[in-house]
Chain A
Amino acid sequence: MIIEMDTSERGGAEALHRYELNGAYDEMYSAVDHPRKQYRPLHNLLLNLGADQLRRSKHEADQSFFNQGITFTVYGNDKGTERIFPHDLLPRIITGAEWERIERGLTQRITALNLFLKDVYHEGKIIADGIVPGSIIYTCKHYRREMRGIKVPRDVYITVVGTDLIRNPEGNFVVLEDNLRVPSGVSYMLTSRRVMKQIFPGLFQKCRVRPIEQYSQVLLSTLKSLAPEGRSDPTVVLLTPGSYNSAYFEHTYLARQMGIELVEGRDLVVHDNVVYMRTTFGLQRVDVIYRRIDDDYLDPLVFEHGSSLGAVGLFNAYRAGNIAFANALGTGVADDKAIYAYVPKIIRYYLDQDPILEGVETLLMSDPGQREHVCQRLDEYVVKAVGESGGYGMLIGPHSTEQQRSEFRDKINAQPRNYIAQPTINLSTAPCFVDGTIEPRHVDLRPYVLYGEKITVIPGGLTRVALRKGSLVVNSSQGGGSKDTWVLQN
């Protein structure tokens, strides 16, 4: 249905004029002027909204983010240390059928990776059976020898997961990265949904979008399910590195939504292998810690000795079974980018199933043949450091200079185990409101998965956008932004 246009409001159709399809899968258009079915209500709205009106909406949204303090910290800037998280005004829409496959695929993948972690830190059968070489596992930057033989509650290692998916030119979702340590961004998913409902109430209702607001309740009950035995009404806390951490807003947001204490390392005291927090009425016992601090900084006795972010004795309390961590320690071994290449085998090994979601073809630089092959064609590949995240330590071949490539060639040859290469994938594009017009930008998708008594995939997620034209890097630290993600009811 096309609504009659007021002549003063014709800017919208004009705003869409600069929309060019570039060979990537486009989320909105199946072909020029052919919007996909799920995008039609949005498309109609865009035809009828003036650029001025969009600009006003964008301003309103910005203001709402700013006043709510939905910001991230920019380091090295004394005055304006807070910026609002860059976000795009238009929602990204996923059909119920597409989602159903994502949900099954993620459940399968996470079940397998969790079994893998349990195996790696106990019997090591997958190594003995020659499926994944021990040399790769034991050289992982995030492998934690200290975790050998430790029983974790419910055998759940990865409680909170934020897997990065991308859509390839054929239109299929594939897994780009597993984030199994301390994935972040979920607060942006929740708050941008709130803002979008304010800005596009009619469209939201018309599209029949599945709700995501239950996230905090599910997270809390998931965390509670990890409590040590015999603790009937467990105390759950969120451990933050403090207000200077770039994700601090998210920590406060989640703690408030769940109604739990937000603690810092200095609030915790370990006595006789029991963890307490220091309160105005004395010491109170803590049972479950949702920690937003990396393994290395949790306990200076066991890990990084100079760290004051954690608390002395936490690891012994963990070993004694008096405290649960979410996620468990040492989970980074399963999201190492070299292990990533083995995930299809891992799924087959533990579950005897074919992977529902495929991964991206991954070449290990520790393999001489593959290294040779990639080093000669660096301009075609994306090279990533295995232990890094957040878009750091990465070479995007087609967008690189000869000098960058030669630097990477040296790095790869110096430490082959540290690098993998993947063919450059043209991420799908979605409409974004940029500088007064609507243009396609590359996007990925990070759904959030919670694993306690069972696995829950939240229907939605963070769609990250490479806001620079043509860019394929969506990380917020590298000029990326976010979009609300609408999963439609079947």
Chain B
Amino acid sequence: MLSRVADSLYWMSRYFERADNASRVLKATYGLILNPAKFSTEERWFRAVSSLAPGAASNNVDPQRALFLLVADPEGAFSIVKCIGGARENARQVREEISSEMWEHLNRLFHDVTGSELQANDDAGAMRVVTAVREGSYRFHGVTAATMNHDEAWHFIQLGKYIERACNLCVLLDAYFVVDKHADDLDWVGLLSSCAAFEAYCKACTAELKPDRIANFLLLKPEFPYSVRYSLDRMHEALTAISTLSLSRRTDQIERLIGRLRSMVAYVQVSDVIRNLHKYLGEIIEQCRDLHAAVHEVYIDYPIEVAFEN
């Protein structure tokens, strides 16, 4: 596959996952601020904003303004509408690689969420966008899995999706656990819903909401699609498949990085990491970045001299 194409597929997938993540978090958080609790609404919004738009957070965000910014801000690099646009733009560059159904679906979703000019005080409108992305995301993943060859292109899409998911989960967990002294049950429900995990968690651990169980579930549960462990396992699968398909490339660096990353979640107990969660999550994110850079160097932007050596 063309390197440029692999890169576009990877970014299409990352942007889409980013929008999906934002819509999950917003849906959960919006539900949360409707309830009275110890936490003021502003603080909850601060948490949502800081997990979704790093750097853009400030302590006194007007919730309504924040909702608008996170959903539809045309300037902000992190708004849902912007991310769906980014996914579509990348897909547009590689129209011939993805199935027509995928394109049609993504295109329709894009026109859905950009179709009406959203006003800054239109909460209901913003939540409609959030819902459209939630539903659109499940459909897009279904259509992708059902209509594409599960070949190299597919694996780059998987890689993008799960590297983005792993990083987003780490940022979100960090935002919740940093302040867990004040957290109440409703907050934990919010965190679990942000990861589409509430029902799955209750099934596995009952409705008893214990912070360390929740951390265990979202970090280390290999069976749950929105856990860090699950995401890293899928990344490993995708990278192995890509490496096998592309034969002669020098992939030992990538193998070392993904191996080290997986060992961070495969061979620990939650009690080992819960005390110093912030540092631990930061390390996972850091290593994901290294992995991203290594993949880029081996498959996408390699020096010509290296190519002729092989």
Chain A min CB distance to B82 (Å): 13
Q: Bound complex: CA of A271 vs CA of B304, how far in Å? A: 10
Supposing A68-B100, A249-B95, A271-B308 touch, asked if A279 and B1 sit within 8 A by C-beta, the answer is yes
Asked whether B304 lies within 8 Å of A69 as measured between CB atoms, the reply is: no
B260: interface (CB < 8 Å): no
Asked if B2 contacts A267 (CB within 8 A), the reply is: yes
Contact yes or no, B299 A252, CB < 8 A: no
Given contacts A67-B107, A282-B249, 14 further A-B contacts (CB under 8 A): A66-B111, A68-B100, A68-B103, A68-B104, A69-B104, A69-B107, A249-B95, A252-B95, A263-B2, A264-B4, A267-B3, A279-B3, A281-B1, A281-B247
B103 touching A69, Cβ below 8 Å:
yes
Interchain CB contact under 8 A, B92 and A282:
no
B104: chain A residues at CB < 8 Å are 67-69
A278 contacts the other chain (CB 8 A) = yes
Contact indicator B3/A280 (Cβ below 8 Å): yes
Number of CB contacts from chain A to chain B under 8 A: 70
A192 CB, nearest partner CB in chain B, Å: 16
> Is residue A296 contacting chain B, with contact meaning CB distance below 8 A?
no
Which residues of A28-82 have CB atoms within 8 Å of chain B's CB atoms? 66-69
Chain A nearest Cβ from B55, distance in angstroms? 26
* Alpha-carbon separation in the docked complex, A265 to B292 (Å): 25
Residues of B with C-beta under 8 A to A282: 246, 248-249, 307, 310
- When C-beta atoms are compared, the residue in chain B nearest to A272 turns out to be B308
Q: How far is the CA of A253 from the CA of B96 in the complex (A)?
A: 6
Q: Answer whether A256 and B96 are a contact pair too, CB < 8 Å, given A267-B3, A279-B3, A281-B248.
A: yes
Question: Which of B94, B103, B108, B245 makes the CB contact (< 8 A) with A281?
Answer: B245
B93 engages A243 (CB within 8 Å): yes
Contact B96 A262 (CB under 8 A): yes
- The docked-state distance in angstroms from the alpha carbon of A282 to that of B307 is 6
Q: Which residues of B contact A67 (CB under 8 A)?
A: 104, 107-108
In the complex, residue of chain B having the shortest beta-carbon distance to the beta carbon of A255: B96
Contact between chains at B100 and A277 (CB < 8 Å): no
CB–CB A266/B4 < 8 A? yes
Check if B84 is an interface residue, CB within 8 A of chain A.
Answer: no
B170 to chain A: which residues have CB within 8 Å?
none
Give the complex CA separation of A255 and B3 in angstroms: 17
A280 touches B6 (CB 8 A): yes
Give B74's nearest chain A residue, CB to CB.
Answer: A79
Chain A min CB distance to B166 (Å) = 22
For B157, list chain A residues within 8 Å (CB).
none
CB-defined contacts of B304 to chain A, threshold 8 Å = 269, 271, 283
Interface residues of B in 237-256 (CB under 8 A from A): 242, 245-249
Contact of B3 among A66, A68, A278 (CB under 8 A): A278
Determine the residue in chain B with the shortest Cβ distance to A256.
Answer: B96
A261 in the interface, Cβ–Cβ < 8 Å?
A: yes
Contact pattern, A 228-252, Cβ under 8 Å of B = 1, otherwise 0: 0000000000000001000001001
Q: What's the Cα separation between A263 and B96 when bound, in Å?
A: 11
**Within the complex, what minimum Cβ distance (angstroms) separates B94 from chain A?**
8
Q: How far is the CA of A488 from the CA of B227 in the complex (A)?
A: 60
Of residues 92 through 131 on chain B, the ones whose CB sits less than 8 Å from some CB of chain A are: 92-97, 100, 103-104, 107-108, 111
Q: Mark B241-284, 1 if CB is under 8 A from A, else 0.
A: 01001111100000000000000000000000000000000000
**CB–CB B107/A261 < 8 A:** no
Is the pair A267, B4 in contact by a Cβ cutoff of 8 Å? yes
Residues of B within 8 A of A263 (CB): 2
Rounded to whole angstroms, the CA-CA distance of A224 and B245 in the bound complex is: 26
A residues near B2, Cβ cutoff 8 Å: 261, 263, 267, 277-280
Q: Which of A69, A266, A269, A281 makes the CB contact (< 8 A) with B246? A: A281
CA distance A352 to B155 in the complex (A): 59
Which residues of A are found within 8 Å of B249, using beta-carbon distances? Answer: 280-282
A200 CA to B291 CA, complexed, in Å? 53
Q: How far is the CA of A269 from the CA of B307 in the complex (A)?
A: 11
Question: What residues on B are CB-neighbors of A66 within 8 Å?
Answer: 111
Q: Would you call B42 an interface residue if the criterion is a C-beta within 8 Å of the partner chain's C-beta atoms?
A: no
A257, closest chain B residue (CB): B96
User: In the complex, which residues of chain A have a beta carbon less than 8 angstroms from the beta carbon of B107?
Assistant: 67, 69
Nearest 6 A/B pairs, CB to CB = A252-B95, A281-B246, A256-B96, A255-B96, A280-B299, A252-B96
Q: Is the CB of B95 within 8 A of A69?
A: yes
B1-25 interface (Cβ within 8 A of A): 1-6
CA A283 to CA B303, docked complex, whole Å = 11
Bound together, the chains give a CA A267 to CA B7 distance in angstroms of 12
User: In the complex, A249→B93 CA distance in Å?
Assistant: 10
| Nearest CB in chain B to that of A259: its residue | B96
Within the complex, the shortest CB–CB distance from A216 to chain B, in Å, comes to: 12
Distance (whole angstroms) from the CB of A82 to the closest CB of chain B: 9
The distance from the CB of B168 to the nearest CB of chain A, in whole angstroms, is: 25
Interface string of A262-303 (1 = CB under 8 A from B): 111011010100000111111100000000000000000000
Q: Does any Cβ of A come within 8 Å of B152's Cβ?
A: yes
A449 to chain B, nearest CB (A): 24
Q: Which of B207-255 contact A (CB under 8 A)?
A: 242, 245-249
Closest Cβ neighbor of A278 among chain B residues = B3
A108 to chain B, nearest CB (A): 35
A280-B248 Cα distance, complex, nearest whole Å: 10
- Which residues of the partner chain B approach A249 to less than 8 Å between Cβ atoms? 95
Residues of A within 8 A of B3 (CB): 267, 278-280
Chain B contacts for A68, CB-based, 8 A: 100, 103-104
Contacts of B308 in A (CB 8 A): 271, 283
**How many Å lie between the Cα of A161 and that of B245 in the bound state?**
39
Report Cα–Cα, A279/B3, bound state, in Å: 5
Which residues on the A side are within 8 Å of B94 (C-beta)?
262
Structural contact, B299 and A256, CB atoms closer than 8 A: no
Contact: B95 with A280, CB < 8 Å? no
Q: How far is the CA of A249 from the CA of B100 in the complex (A)?
A: 12
Q: Please name all residues of chain B whose beta carbon is closer than 8 Å to the beta carbon of A262 when the two chains form the complex.
A: 94-96
CB distance from A263 to the nearest CB of B (A): 6
Determine which residue in B93, B302, B307, B308 has the highest number of CB atoms from chain A within 10 A of its CB, and name it.
Answer: B307
A446–B97 alpha-carbon span in the complex (Å): 29
CA distance in complex: A269, B95 (Å): 23
Closest chain-A Cβ to B57's Cβ sits at a distance in Å of 29
Say whether B96 contacts A280, CB under 8 Å: no
Q: Which residues of A contact B248 (CB under 8 A)?
A: 281-282
Chain A residues in 8 Å Cβ range of B111:
66
Distance of B3 from chain A, by nearest CB (Å): 5
Which residues does chain A contribute within 8 Å of B95, judged by CB atoms?
Answer: 69, 249, 252-253, 256, 262
- List, in ascending order, chain B residues with CB within 8 A of A243's CB: 92-93
Counting chain A CB atoms within 10 Å of each CB, which of B96, B111, B246 scores highest?
Answer: B96
Q: Mark A2-13, 1 if CB is under 8 A from B, else 0.
A: 000000000000
9 contacts between A and B (CB under 8 A): A66-B111, A68-B100, A243-B92, A262-B95, A263-B2, A269-B304, A280-B1, A280-B2, A280-B3
Query: When each residue 132-174 of chain B gets 1 if its CB lies under 8 Å from chain A and 0 otherwise, what string results?
Result: 0000000000000000000010000000000000000000000
Minimum Cβ distance to chain B for residue A269 (Å):
6
Select the residue from B2, B108, B302 with max chain A CB neighbours within 10 A.
B2
